[in-house]
Chain A
Amino acid sequence: MLTLEHLHKQFGNLTALDDVSFKVPDGQITGLIGQNGSGKSTTFHSILNFLKYDGTIRWQGKPITESVFDEIGYLPEERSLMPKLTIEQQIVYLARLKDQPAKVIRPQIDNWLKKFAVKGKKTDRIKSLSKGNQQKVQLICTLIHRPKLVILDEPFSGLDPVNADLLKQAILETKAQGAAIIFSSHDMANVESLCDQLVMLRTGDVVLNGSITDVRNQFGRSELYVTTDWSEERLRQLPHVTDVNRLRGDRFLLRLDDEKAGPEIFQQLTNGQYIQEFSQQPPTLDEIFRMKAGIKQ
């Protein structure tokens, strides 16, 4: 388990991280979300010891030193490889720096290239690959040594839906092997579909921390999706409805000021008759993100 306690980082007058504490358990995926400049990369850089910081970071109860570097798989935010090397040379070089013998890594390369559908041979130079394929090679470099702690900074940026799915599969496989995984993303759909828990940072403060379900339920089941032939005006008259949005055709999103009003609204809307859709839910992560990002404490 990765544990961060009371992390504080100051750049001049700017507080990049302020009393940040959270845990990344083994065999679980933690999403680190927040707007640009909220402190996500600074958190990653602190974990990796690139920065001096105040507070404590521990991996399996011990400080992160060179002895655990081999257990870490890190994908930085911007992609960068060594353009003059071939795919094979690049993967083998970085794997050897993770203490993996070349003779163990080399036979695996073809399978990994196939798994990520990399267009190119392992003898192709990195500079001859498209941006997307370079990104996939970098992902292979991050995961091929079977790390126990995986840190992915914006892994989905720039990937099309097909490749994003390939990455999701790889992340889930790594989780199944028992690794503790933390990744940052702006795409809440990816976070929601992959993560067991999430941490949200806003200007260096932790504003959300917990399992996806807990975080969403924190906000109450204040959203009601209905598909009905009622007019917008008529829906607005229902008790505790504060806002009505037509989504598409006869589908509406109603916002409630009291989640307990659900049964009463159901009664009035259906009058005991069939209704195509009546779904009371907490806000989506996307909405929570917007809400939290906008609120000043």
Chain B
Amino acid sequence: MNKTWIVAAETYLRQVKSWSFVMLVLSPFVLIAISLGVGYFSATSSVDQTKIAVISNQPALRKQFIKDNQDDVKTSVTTVSAAKKKVAKDNLAGYLVISSDATKVSGVYHANDSLSGGMRTKINTFLGKTQQQLNISNAKLSAGQLKSLNEPPAFKQQIKKKVSGASLAKMASFWILTFMIYMVLITYSSVTAQEIASEKGTKIMEIIFSSTKASKYFIGKIVGVLMVILTQIVVYLVGGYAFFELAMQLGKVKDFMTEYHSLVSAVVRNLVNVNLAFVLLGVIIYTIVSAFSGALVAKAEDAPKAAQPAIYLSMIAFFITIPFSNNADALLVKILSYVPFFSSYFMPLRVINSNASGLEIGVSLVILIASIAGLVIYISRIYEGLILQTDDTSFWKRLKRGLAYQK
């Protein structure tokens, strides 16, 4: 097997087998599962306590009430005595007795606590509607009278929408994309930098560099870390899909998805296009810089500090992006969409806002890929010098010496 792959596989396996990685990957699922579980249990345990029973001497009335308010009625309770027992045990909020004669519909609510506003409105609406039907029937109106009586008032809404569906999708896509890049970079900048820095000046590196070229080793390390990132993304995609399918079993999520179907698919379209290439290449270029800054620490003990340059760079790019989320036409956005390290944030912003031509996107991609290739070639050459260097000099001296080291 190629030595680059041996290094990549070793880096990958050591990382994914570590507890920190397992925790990192599983923690969002655990948190979601816990919150869903808590929500489910509190909902199922308290649901009966908020329901009411409906009892009536007229089955049609009871049936109609249940039909109108099915989520609020415990249908299994049909008698006053059963309802009284449940209310006493706190298994029922109360019970409504509906009765009706030839001219009057009445309802009496029995409970330990007064009705909530919402429930009171629902009961009033039902009783009002039923009474009205009784009144109309008692009035023996002609068809014309009935029609004019049923004439509804005219009510229209004229709203000047500021955020149309399309621009909402753009905003959502932008924030999801930006946060995704930012979170991946912040997490893996430290992982990469520490991975490299922990080997700084150690003699094991002398053994390794007597076995393979430093450039192959460096590329192997980067590939290993990228495989770890990819694993996490795949786990999130698969896990996310599984959770989505699970959530779709819940009626409310399904309703939401049906209602916002066009928005969701627009967001997905904005994410799964050329923007994904910018995200992946952005992760690669920042990973390379993290590895480089990891190689620049004075000694292995300084590994925790190693990620700082890459993290700061990523933070700067992230925070510059935010003010332009609504202003993709700005000149600065156009310029930065070609600058490596920034283009992974700014070009997707332009793509989402349909502000960049195919040529512009292509040029930006070519610049980004060329920069990655240039960085890999250059750092590979000086990597051996950087890693084997053990002088405890200043950062700038180490950088200068590292940059001057070429074989």
Contact = CB atoms under 8 A, between A and B. Distances in A.
B6 A50 contact: no
Given A50-B384, A93-B6, A96-B1, A78 B203 contact: yes
Contact of A97 (B203, B212, B407): B212
Contacts of A233: none
A66 B209 CA distance: 9
Given A66-B212, A80-B202, A74 B1 contact: no
A49 interface: yes
Contacts of B211: 69-70, 72, 94, 97-98
A108 B154 CA distance: 91
Interface string A65-108: 01001101011111111101100000001101111000000000
Given A96-B1, A97-B6, A50 B209 contact: yes
A50 B202 CA distance: 14
Contacts of A48: 206, 209-210
B203 A80 contact: yes
Interface string B6-40: 11001000100000000000000000000000000
Contacts of B208: 94, 97
Given A50-B209, A66-B213, A97-B212, A77 B203 contact: yes
A80 B210 CA distance: 14
A80 B204 CA distance: 5
Interface string A32-51: 00000000000001001110
B213 A141 contact: no
B207 A69 contact: no
Contacts of A151: 210
A76 B201 CA distance: 12
B388 interface: yes
Contacts of A75: 207
A50 B388 contact: yes
A248 interface: no
Interface residues of A, number: 30
A234 interface: no
Interface string B65-92: 0000000000000000000000000000
A45 B207 CA distance: 11
Nearest to A151: B210
Contacts of B202: 80
- Of the candidates B1, B202, B206, B384, the one having the most CB atoms from chain A within 10 angstroms of its own CB is B206
A72 B10 CA distance: 22
A97 B7 CA distance: 8
Given A52-B407, A69-B212, A94 B207 contact: yes
Contact of B6 (A52, A81, A96): A96
Contact of B10 (A45, A69, A93): A93
B19 to A, nearest CB: 11
Contacts of B206: 45, 48, 50, 74, 76
Contacts of B14: 84-85
Given A84-B14, A96-B1, A97-B212, A49 B407 contact: yes
Contacts of B213: 66
Interface string A135-158: 000100110000000010000000
B129 interface: no
B269 interface: no
B261 interface: no
A82 B204 contact: yes
B122 interface: no
A50 B211 CA distance: 12
Contacts of B203: 76-80
Nearest to A99: B3
B7 to A, nearest CB: 8
Contact of A74 (B6, B10, B210, B212): B210
B407 A74 contact: no
Contacts of B407: 49, 52
A5 to B, nearest CB: 19
B207 to A, nearest CB: 6
Interface string B382-407: 00100010000000000000000001
Contacts of A93: 6, 10
B386 to A, nearest CB: 12
A81 B204 contact: yes
Nearest to B18: A84
A240 B207 CA distance: 53
Contacts of A49: 407
A154 to B, nearest CB: 11
Nearest to B220: A97
Contacts of A72: 210-211
A78 to B, nearest CB: 5
A141 B207 contact: yes
26 contacts: A45-B206, A48-B206, A48-B209, A48-B210, A50-B206, A50-B209, A50-B384, A52-B407, A66-B212, A66-B213, A69-B211, A72-B211, A74-B210, A75-B207, A76-B203, A76-B207, A80-B202, A80-B203, A80-B207, A84-B14, A94-B207, A96-B6, A97-B6, A97-B7, A97-B208, A98-B211
Given A66-B213, A74-B210, A96-B1, 7 more contacts: A45-B206, A75-B207, A76-B203, A76-B206, A80-B202, A80-B207, A99-B3
Interface of B: 1, 3, 6-7, 10, 14, 202-204, 206-213, 384, 388, 407
Interface of A: 45, 48-50, 52, 66, 69-70, 72, 74-82, 84-85, 93-94, 96-99, 138, 141-142, 151
Q: Pick the 4 closest A-B CB pairs, nearest first.
A: A80-B203, A97-B211, A76-B203, A74-B210
